[in-house]
Amino acid sequence: MTVTANERLGLAPTDPRPIEETHPLVDRRETNPLLGDQKMKLGLFGTNCSYGLIMSHAPSNYKITWEHTKEIARRAEAIGFDVMVPVARWKGFGGSTNFNGNCFETYTWAAGIAEATERIAVAATSHLPTVHPIVAAKSATTIDHISAGRFALNLVMGWVPPEMEMFGAEQREHDERYEYGQEWLDFATKLWTEPGTFTMHTKYFDAELLEAYPKPHQAPRPVLINAGNSPRGIEFSARNVDVNFASLDTLENIKSYVNTVKSKARDDYQRDIKVMTYGLVVCRDTEDEAKRAFQQVVDEGDWGAAGNVIKIAGSGASQSFDHAVKEMQERFIAGWGGYPIVGTPEQVAEELGNLNEAGMEGMIFGLIDPAEEIPYFGENVMPLLKQAGLRH
């Protein structure tokens, strides 16, 4: 017996078509580059926030205007990058730059970038305690339709207490944030997938007669991202998301981490998960030029803002950065605690290959001057990645 669209939606059975005809299911692997077949996926991180990934007064033409951030996205798409991932920020980190304090909100940013581009995946980054899942699910679905299935949602539990306090709420304890996050995601997922009406009665949510239409363009939901690297964060990622982003320091640690995340997803939840990383890339014609540009970022760094970040991260607010707080404070200045790649085009391509061999399936990164450096990367690094079999 054929189940009609209206019957599946709990309405009168007046539409004889199966629901697949009125709500066509689209394979996410066909529409979203994050799930595509590039061996080493590439993207840009944080181009919606002032100073991007560098806490520094080093010279750059980078600025937070709509035309500039749109141009960066279009240039990234033109050279074949796979994704744009913004940073969700409600308050800067002080210091002489007030690092990341001037920024675009990420759902509306993603909607605009989606309309301004045609092929690149576009993410929104969402602090889950700051937006109700009904609003987030509807926003995500809207952007997914604008982008024709290129949208991804980066789930953040909210690790900066001064930001959470702006919303009039106390910061939850670390593991409880993930407990809330699981209920939040379960709620959003039902809105994306459940036909008809339903209710939600859980520890954190209490709602009746819920419904949400249209459903996302991607089936069964948009691509999900999470950057939790603590034990609880790894558990959340392994259970729920398509891509985990990791902040790591050495190739050996990367190998161990990738094995941990993938094994947990496979063994505990019978799922596959991709693991990617982030950092700062400084690529110049010579190694000396690249090292000098990187060092200038450090020498002109905003150590006041870096100290504030380190203080928050070291307080236990985010367990994902524990190792960086102790061992790699410089990386907050030059790359937001990520993995730095500094050198010639050949050296950058080689290091991206090393990351891939260690298990990383992609890297989103910052550049000192994104709009100016993207074409250089496209002309000088992308051909080497193709020769190495990392891109096609």
Q: Reply yes or no on domain 41-387 having CATH 3.20.20.30.
A: yes
Burial class from Cβ neighbours inside 10 Å (0-12, 13-18, 19+) for residue 28 reads buried
pLDDT band, very low/low/confident/very high, at 314 (cuts 50, 70, 90) = low
Confidence class for position 19, pLDDT limits 50, 70, 90? very low
pLDDT score at 384:
98
Q: Is the pLDDT of residue 3 over 50?
A: no
pLDDT band at residue 315 under the 50/70/90 scheme = low
The pLDDT-based confidence of 28 (bands split at 50, 70, 90) is confident
* Structure-model confidence comparison of residues 215 and 315, the more confident one: 215
How confident is the prediction for the chain on average, in pLDDT?
Answer: 91
Contact status, residue 366 vs residue 281, Cβ threshold 8 Å: yes
- Kindly report, residue by residue over 316-361, the tens digit of the pLDDT: 545 555 544 445 578 899 999 899 999 999 999 999 999 999 999 9
Instruction: Decide which of 366 and 249 is more confident.
Output: 366
Please give the distance of CA 171 from its chain centroid, rounded to a whole number: 22
Task: Yes or no: say if 73 and 117 are a contact pair by the CB < 8 Å rule.
Answer: yes
pLDDT tens string 177-209: 999 999 999 999 999 999 999 999 999 999 999
Tell me the pLDDT tens digit for each residue of 94-122: 999 999 999 999 999 999 999 999 999 99
Bridge partners, residue 152, by sequence: 123, 223
* Token representation of residue 11: 């309405």
